[in-house]
Chain A
Amino acid sequence: MTLELGTLVFASLGYLLVLFLIAYAAERGLIPARITQHPLAYALALGVYATSWSYFGSVGYAARHGFRYLAIYLGATLSCLLIPVLWRPLLQLTRELQLTSLADLFAFRYPGQATGTGVTLVLLAGTLPYLALQMRAVVESARVLVPDASASLLGLGFCAITIVFSVLFGARHLTPRERHEGLALAIAFESLVKLVALMVIAGWAVFSVFGGAGGLQAWLEAHPEALRAMQEPAREASWAPLLFISCAAAFLIPRQYHVAFTESPERDALSTATWAFPLLLLLMNVAVPLLLWTGTSLGLPGQADFYVLAVPAALGSPFLALLAFLGGISAASAMVIVTTLSLAPMCLTHLVLPLGYARAPGNLYRRLLWARRILTAAIVLAGYVFYLVLDARASGLVGLGLVSFVNVAQFAPGLLGLLFWPRATRAGFLAGLAAGTAAWGALLLPPLWGGTEPGRAVAALAAALDFSTAEPWGFATFVTLSLNTLAFVGVSLATRNSPEEADAARLCAREIPSLAAGSVTAGSVDEIRRQLAPVLGEDAAAAEWERALSELGLSPEERRPAELRRLRDQLERNLSGLLGPVLARLAVSEALHVDPRARTALAEQLRFVEERLRDAPGIKGPVRELEAVRRYLQRILEELPLGACALGPDQDVVIWNEALERLSGLDSARVRGLPLARLPAPWNELLCDFATGPDSNVEVQVRLEGRERTLRLHRSLAVHVSAPGPEGSEVPEGVVLLVEDLTERKALDARLAHQDRLASVGRVAAGVAHEIGNPLTAITSVAQNLRYEEDPAEIHERVQLILQQAKRINAIVRALVTFSHAGVMGGEEEAPFLQVRLAPLLSEAAQLARLGRKEADVACVSHCPEALEVMGNAQRLEQVFVNLLTNAIDASPPGGRVECFAEQHDERLLVRVVDQGHGIPPEVAQRIFEPFFSTKQPGEGTGLGLALVSNIVREHGGTLELDSQPGAGTTFTVTLPARHRTEGAA
């Protein structure tokens, strides 16, 4: 049975149209993310591993080597069991560092353009046979159904369709960093089509030819040689080379790397892939022996490679033949599309851009996009050319595929070194790759063109090692990997890592990297954008700048050196996904210079440690305890009710606690790492001045948010003793500033003082009323009676009485005025302070006090050294002591003794007036200095005496203290400065 070419073309175009629609719907978001991002969709997309080699070639391979064909898929299963050790770390690296291809990955770990270029060329060389395999499969499968179809037309048509699809859905985004949702889903759909086609055809064939599973079993029992042909070759030959190269190929061949890492969904899908991807391969491979035995029982002529097509054709089912053909188209097109899409950016970043293409004028993104499109087409066409020049007799489909697998396996030693051996060097990697690839080229490429048989020495060696000459790839695998590994290890041990390489090695080995040293010379994010523009162009620089800012959550006003350094590193990471790691590093280094001598801010070091500890899974032992202590101390600082700001040695803010956040309105995340001088006003000046000023404790008035605030600032220097013992010097490590907001407390104090003043005014008013009331009553009474008095003598006497009472009122008023005008005595100007000898002053005061209380039988004695002198007003000081001594005499019992002692104590003179009276109860002592407070009988005192004494002593810069116990006498202590201000000024 044959089909029309038009039918095949029409069906192929229809199928590809369905693919277009699926990809388009996914790109437009018409298919929900729960489907496009589903782990099973990811596992199905990994099924791109099964190409037309698996679809068509496995039957042919099984016919020759029995169950050994399974090794290719069992190797992939083994690879999936290494997901936690190999795949997951690689996925983390590619995501974090935006390494979109295998060449990027190796160029990052073994830095240098030679690495990227070498890896790309080797992959390109290894992939062309594989692309040719797909072309051959498509052309030959079409010719099974349409024998007279033109091979060139079929091949070119297939190339054209895959190029269009790749460009439309694979080179769609401006940058290769974004996931192609549509492409990934279309590839998953293609895997599903392959699986369904194989299973339906195999199932239908078994039922059609054998009548079902029982019939098949009966046929196998009748033809034991068929099953033996499957088992015997598999028992005899070695599986190790096939298992190894397929295990490596399952994630290293360009299309697998692209789907597994570059196009991986955001959610974790690797665990599902552990079983779903091998299960997909298993289901596809179950069909292989069924198709082989069906074809054998039908006695089909030609290669077993195309039994998938030949069986339905022989059984006269055009629909299933067409389905089989579409499954083949599906397998081939998926491989070609994904392979070219993974190779094109690699060729661009490692072959084209190093030639200076990135520096051409115009929009960088657009140029890169078009370059990728052109390269995509070029790679597909190169595969076609390779197919044309292949010797059709040279190798079967599987043979072509294995040539590629052995090529890709050359990256296995380098990859293991990348993940697990930080000592591996770039020179070692390049040496190993060169040795392995050279041997691969020598052993496996010539037979593809019908080249000469291997030399006698090679054949002898292969025979000695028990490798079959019929399977050159087995021996080639052993030789290439041996040479590769020896050169890699040997040269790595003989050479040393550069510092850049050592950093990359630590990152790739998942060791905690050290903090990047140095800071960028640019002072702001805007300056970074301006410096980037000459290298990337205005548009690309602005776009990359905005993207990095958004990813880091930085503001365009950011000026912190540590944040600027982070921005630079993020830009380099992002550009790595666009230009490759080597060019990205070069571009960023050229545009954004780093001062390597600049010390890393303490705040940045702290954050670095915090982030590492947070990300470290399951820290144990002392580190865990230390982390707990650190968190505890940090919490205490954060929750301190005082504002706390810790500064590093360079005066950068390390800690800005919550209380200070509330007070200043500045977010800690925004302030940390900022030099003190760059804080927003008024904090910059306020804290800068205080941190460097002489005082360690000051009270300042600041205007915050339109409100006047009183702040008390405390400062403490953090020092580190450089060495133990007396010879250790103190090295300043930073400063701690405490900010106490006194505004509320000051306001409360003012309110209390105001209330106290009001109460005092009330008491004064009551005292005045009381003191003036008595004489006023007397005057009123005398004046009323005066109207009826006619005797002049009596009138004169009464007028004298009125005058006497009026004088008393006048005396009270004058005393009040004197008290209320501090520094002014009876309206006179303040008298200057002079040198006053204390001894005569105290004697005179004692004499005056005795005279005022002649009737009291109390001795009044002064003990004062002659030399004591004080600066002051002699009259007012005398009034102080007269008042104190008079009070003491009044309080003393008859026969008592009042003594006055004077002495100098340091810079102060102490004068104590001591009596043996009844003492003053505490409740009275609290109010004794208040105006008009008196314990004397009405008319005996004004209540202003001690208040006046207190005022005068204060005027002289002294203090007045009271020490009294009820029943044990009272001591008033007047403290006066021995040196007064006028003395200092003289």
Chain B
Amino acid sequence: MLFVFAVAGLLFGSPVRLLWLREDGPWYQPFAVWLGVIALGAWAARRSGHDA
């Protein structure tokens, strides 16, 4: 989970975000990246074995 956090932190908080905010990108691109992070988090949570 911490790995996903680090990846997400990099995507959102660092200059890497310029990639998904580039001018020629579709309007929904930020949401797609966000959805990807959510999916990664869900996968990590499932792996950690605390699923409800």
Contacts and interface: CB of A to CB of B under 8 A. Distances in A.
Interface of A: 39, 67, 70-71, 74, 77-78, 80-85, 88, 220, 227-228, 230-232, 234-235, 239-240, 243, 267-272, 274-275, 278-279, 282, 285-286, 289
A74 B12 CA distance: 7
A81 B51 contact: no
21 contacts: A67-B21, A71-B12, A77-B8, A77-B37, A77-B38, A78-B5, A81-B5, A82-B2, A82-B5, A83-B1, A84-B2, A231-B25, A232-B23, A243-B9, A243-B12, A268-B51, A269-B52, A271-B48, A272-B51, A275-B45, A278-B37
Contact of B41 (A80, A227, A234): A80
Contacts of B39: 275
Contact of A278 (B1, B41, B46): B41
Contacts of A85: 1-2
Interface in B1-28: 1-2, 4-5, 8-9, 12-13, 17-18, 21-23, 25, 27-28
A271 B46 contact: yes
B1 A74 contact: no
Max chain A CB contacts within 10 Å: which of B4, B39, B51? Answer: B51
Contacts of A39: 52
B23 A231 contact: yes
Contacts of A231: 21-23, 25
A240 B13 contact: yes
Contacts of A220: 27
A271 B5 contact: no
B8 A268 contact: no
Contact of B38 (A88, A239, A282): A282
B15 to A, nearest CB: 9
Query: Counting chain B CB atoms within 10 Å of each CB, which of A81, A232, A274 scores highest?
Result: A81
Most buried by B among A77, A228, A275: A275
A110 B9 CA distance: 31
B45 A282 contact: no
Nearest to B39: A275
Contacts of B8: 74, 77-78, 81
A1 to B, nearest CB: 28
Interface in B31-49: 31, 34-35, 37-39, 41-42, 44-46, 48
B45 A77 contact: no
A71 B21 CA distance: 13
Interface of B: 1-2, 4-5, 8-9, 12-13, 17-18, 21-23, 25, 27-28, 30-31, 34-35, 37-39, 41-42, 44-46, 48, 50-52
Contacts of B38: 77, 275, 278-279, 282
Contact of B27 (A74, A227, A275): A227
A243 B52 CA distance: 28
A70 B27 contact: no
Given A77-B37, A239-B17, A272 B52 contact: yes
B27 to A, nearest CB: 6
A239 B5 CA distance: 16
Given A78-B8, A282-B35, 5 more contacts: A77-B37, A268-B50, A268-B52, A271-B48, A274-B45
Tell me if B's interface is mostly helix, strand, loop or mixed.
helix
Given A235-B21, A275-B45, A77 B50 contact: no
A285 B9 CA distance: 19
A88 B46 CA distance: 15
Given A77-B8, A235-B18, A286-B31, A274 B42 contact: yes
Contact of B1 (A81, A230, A240, A285): A81
Contacts of B17: 234-235, 239
Given A227-B27, A271-B45, A77 B34 contact: yes
B37 to A, nearest CB: 6
Nearest to A85: B2
A132 B39 CA distance: 36
Given A77-B8, A268-B50, A282-B31, A228 B23 contact: yes
Contacts of B27: 220, 227, 230, 289
A84 B45 CA distance: 9
Nearest to B15: A235
A592 to B, nearest CB: 37
A275 B41 contact: yes
Given A239-B17, A271-B50, A77 B41 contact: yes
A43 to B, nearest CB: 10
Contacts of B22: 231
A803 to B, nearest CB: 108
Contacts of B44: 81, 274
Nearest to B17: A239
Contacts of A278: 34, 37-38, 41
A38 to B, nearest CB: 8
A243 B1 contact: no
B12 to A, nearest CB: 5
A285 to B, nearest CB: 8
Nearest to A216: B27
A70 B48 contact: no
Nearest to B27: A227
Nearest to A78: B8
Given A80-B41, A269-B52, A272-B51, A70 B34 contact: yes
A431 to B, nearest CB: 29
A593 B38 CA distance: 52
Contacts of A78: 5, 8-9, 12
A68 B35 CA distance: 17
Nearest to B4: A81
B9 A83 contact: no
Given A228-B23, A279-B38, A239 B48 contact: no
Contacts of B12: 71, 74, 78, 239, 243
A289 B26 CA distance: 13
A271 B35 contact: no
Given A67-B21, A77-B34, A267 B52 contact: yes
B37 A271 contact: no
Contacts of A274: 1, 41-42, 44-45
B51 A271 contact: yes
B31 A81 contact: no
Contacts of A269: 52
Contacts of B34: 70, 74, 77, 278, 282
Contact of A234 (B21, B35, B45, B46): B21
Contacts of A275: 38-39, 41-42, 45
A214 to B, nearest CB: 13
A310 B51 CA distance: 42
Contacts of B52: 39, 267-272
Contacts of A268: 50-52
Contacts of B18: 235
A85 B52 CA distance: 18
B36 to A, nearest CB: 11
A272 B4 CA distance: 16
A67 B17 CA distance: 11
Contacts of A77: 8, 34, 37-38, 41
A74 B39 CA distance: 14
A215 to B, nearest CB: 13
Given A228-B23, A271-B52, A274-B42, A67 B1 contact: no
Contacts of A279: 35, 38
Nearest to A243: B13
A83 B38 CA distance: 13
Contacts of A80: 41
A263 B2 CA distance: 26
A276 to B, nearest CB: 9
A709 B4 CA distance: 70
Nearest to B22: A231
Between B2, B9, B22, B52, the greatest number of chain A beta carbons within 10 A of the residue's beta carbon is seen for B52
Contacts of A243: 9, 12-13
A384 B2 CA distance: 41
B19 to A, nearest CB: 10
A388 B20 CA distance: 42
